[in-house]
A and B are shown apart, each in its own frame.
Chain A
Amino acid sequence: MIMFNLSRIRGGVHPRAHKATTAERDILQSLPLPSRFTLPLFQQAGANAFPIVKVGEKVAKGQSIAVSGAGLSANLHAPTSGTIVAIEAAVAPHPSGLPSQAIILEPDGDDRWLEPARVDDPFARDPESLSDEVEKSGIVGLGGAIFPSAIKLRQGRRFEIKTLIINGGECEPYLTTDDRLMRERAEAIVEGARLIQHIIGCYEVIIGIEDNKPQAIIAMKVAAAPYGKIRVQAVPAMYPMGSAKQMIQAVTGKEVPSGGRSNDLGILVHNVATAYAIQQALRLGRPLLSRVITVAGGCVNSPRNVEALFGTPVQHLLDHCGGLSQTPSRLIMGGPMMGQQLPSTQVPVMKGTSGILALNRKEVNEQTPSACIRCSRCVDACPMGLMPLEMAKFSRVDDFDNASHYGLSDCILCGSCSYVCPSHIPLVNYFEYAKGELKQRKLSEKKLAYTQALTAARNTRMEKEAEEKRAAKAAKKKRTTRSASKSGTLANKEEADQ
């Protein structure tokens, strides 16, 4: 059946790439230190990290300043040497514009590294200790999901993983960080891939790269040539090829089961930038302090890729890319398809920041939404095979059951549907809203069940206490009557007998 052909990727869109300028310029590495670093504690999927430094404490570059707790979280390190001046709520790089806890670091200008520990040849080491090392280094998935890498590696060790896919399908328009990284640091990425292979013990490594990055493909092929079982595979350029699910489908023809993980297929996916970070950590002992960020958009005078330390204010990056030529229509962290609007340019860049885009009105092309004409372009564009028009219709009236029936839970929020909608309906906004509401409802249900249990427990405890009190009282009474009976009146004796 044609409709059941798994290897064919359905849907997707081909937005204008806007990649030419930044893809041809090398990564700017020697960015001067900003005057202040803001390091939010929510730079990873899961819980906030716990600060382990005090205000006023002097820290060295690479020193751990916040650690993950028991749950899903990741460590955080000082991006340069300096003094912790505050641990306070600061405006977060988040569309809500709400503040969140952050460590504020004032650099001393020395950029003094923490005394590095001796680094052994990682290939000679035990894989388990290597994943501990990755955890210590605070590495998270740099492709956008910011999922703690060590947890992924440990899961990879628990499951039988046959194939490691290194994701070089940078499909977001404007972004060229992975492209530049593959061109300039191909050997390190390949070594990172081999280290992951060593840790999870997989059979083969496939580096999937979109075919609109021919130079990156060549560079990676050259770097991978000496090693067996690592091959570079070109995949068709389309959005959202960089999504792990679509990359797996393009490379292996398999689909991740709905609600499952790639582990279920014996596949693990890591982004090229993550592979690079793992190599830096295991080979050089360097924790994750910086990443390559594309600074681009129609309002940026000199668009370029910049290697920036986490905590650097966005304004600082813009200043070193020629500043802004005009007030942007939208200022975005990430790509234009899935990125989020920034509340200000004073917010810092974080581990998940792949790009800073200052887009003008023409690039954004915002128009007043009109009624849905059911043209079903969103259905054709959806890479997940959902029916966005129906999902939006039901989300709008808060009918989340029906919205889920048409695929709300399978939606990856890639934005392909909104992108093609001729009525300019903010479909993703509806899905974000519906998903948020559903999550909140689930939480309040959970809380209700929890408080019900607490009340029940309290009631039984109170009853028991009351029972005990009664028993104690009765015992006391008994004791009194017994002592009274010792004094020897008949009436008392009769009473005690009753």
Chain B
Amino acid sequence: MFTATLVLTVLGLTLGGALAFAAKVFATGEENPLVQEIEALMPGSQCGQCGFPGCKPAAEAIVEGSVDLTCCPPGGRALAEKIAEILGVDVDSIGEVAAPMVASIEETLCTGCTRCFKACPTDAIVGANKQIHAVIDEACTGCGKCVEACPEDCIHLDVESLDLNNWHWPKPMVA
């Protein structure tokens, strides 16, 4: 009886100690590695379209499962699928992903105040003081920071327009 109790106690203490030791020595920092991995995939522009103050809190929320993995509009479907792969979620279960938006500047209203391009996290707006600004579509993530910054209300977000280069056949609607 006594031997058994002793053996079990020693065993428990040793293994517990080993676990504690391993947790200390092999710790990966306080961050969840999944969060880091997902954050690296995200746009990093801290645009806040997801409703979080930046990409890292969004990545944490995705890993926790408190938010849908389609929450990042600039990342689009491609990002959602990658995240699904990392998290081991069925790719088919991803619903509709919001179409990416692009900002455009109403040229007649723009006063060239430069506030929008100072606000742009991806330097997608070009222009100079007192000159009309323009958006480079290729660099615009549709974050909307410029819309907030514009004092003239002359910037609006649109779904990227279809043209002959990005149009493709839709899925056939058959059995």
Contacts and interface: CB of A to CB of B under 8 A. Distances in A.
Do these two chains interact? yes
B167 A98 contact: yes
A100 to B, nearest CB: 5
A420 B174 CA distance: 18
B169 A436 contact: yes
Contact of A433 (B141, B162, B170): B170
A451 B169 contact: no
Nearest to A437: B168
A42 B166 CA distance: 13
A169 to B, nearest CB: 27
A454 interface: yes
Interface stretch (A10-18, A199-207, A344-352, A455-463): A455-463
A216 interface: no
A439 B166 CA distance: 9
Q: In terms of DSSP, what is the predominant structure of the interface of chain A? A: helix
A447 interface: yes
B122 A454 contact: yes
A124 interface: no
Of A395, A443, A447, most B-chain CB atoms within 10 Å: A447
A408 to B, nearest CB: 13
B92 A398 contact: yes
Given A433-B169, A439-B168, A457 B123 contact: yes
A397 B124 contact: no
A454 B174 contact: no
B27 interface: no
Contacts of A448: 41, 43, 74-76, 78-79
A433 B172 contact: yes
B168 A435 contact: yes
A29 interface: no
Interface in B93-118: 100
Interface in B57-80: 74-79
Interface string A339-380: 000000000000000000000000000001111000000000
- Contact count band on B: 20 to 34
A129 interface: no
A349 B141 CA distance: 38
A108 B162 CA distance: 35
Interface string A262-278: 00000000000000000
B17 interface: no
A316 interface: no
A429 interface: yes
B25 interface: no
B6 interface: no
A158 B122 CA distance: 40
A56 interface: no
A370 B77 contact: no
A51 interface: no
A467 interface: no
Contacts of B124: 451, 454
Contacts of A368: 174
B174 A425 contact: yes
B160 to A, nearest CB: 10
Interface stretch (A88-96, A330-338, A469-477): A88-96
Nearest to A425: B174
Of B76, B91, B139, B163, most A-chain CB atoms within 10 Å: B163
5 contacts: A396-B171, A399-B91, A429-B171, A433-B170, A455-B45
Minimum-distance CB pairs A-B, first 8? A436-B168, A432-B169, A454-B122, A369-B174, A96-B167, A429-B172, A426-B172, A441-B78
Interface of A: 42, 92, 94-96, 98, 100, 368-371, 395-399, 425-426, 429-430, 432-433, 435-437, 439-441, 443-445, 447-448, 450-452, 454-458
Interface of B: 41, 43-46, 74-79, 81, 91-92, 100, 121-124, 138-139, 141, 162-164, 166-172, 174-175
Given A98-B163, A444-B100, 9 more contacts: A368-B174, A369-B172, A370-B175, A440-B166, A444-B78, A450-B138, A451-B74, A451-B122, A455-B46
